[in-house]
């Protein structure tokens, strides 16, 4: 089994988050348009959260640590 490159994995999630932001809006209207926008927002949030995580492997378990506390001003 190949070794898991945690930095590369997290970079792929950051790249996916950026790709969602650039995703063109398809020619849909009304309810389908709103659904597409909501799905894109969730995709971006999910990819961005994982992309911002601190990843480690502890006792053979992938651990993603995500600090959800508000940033200090």
Give the pLDDT of residue 9.
95
Average pLDDT of 17-38? Answer: 90
Give yes or no for residue 14 having a pLDDT over 80. Answer: yes
- Contact at 8 Å (CB) between 40 and 20? yes
Domain boundaries, the chain: 6-65
Give the pLDDT of residue 28.
82
DSSP E strand boundaries for the chain: 54-58, 61-65
Work out the pLDDT band at 71, boundaries 50, 70, 90: confident
Give the pLDDT of residue 25.
84
* Residues present in the chain in total: 73
- pLDDT (tens digit, 9 = 90+) per residue, 30-65? 899 999 999 999 999 999 999 999 999 999 999 999
């Amino acid at each position: 089994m190949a070794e898991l490159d945690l930095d590369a994995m997290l970079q792929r999630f950051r790249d996916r988050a950026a790709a969602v932001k650039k995703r063109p809006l398809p020619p849909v209207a009304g309810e389908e348009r709103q659904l597409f926008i909501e799905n894109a927002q969730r995709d971006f949030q999910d990819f961005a959260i994982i992309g911002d995580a601190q990843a480690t492997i502890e006792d053979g378990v992938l651990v993603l640590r995500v600090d959800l506390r508000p940033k200090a001003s």
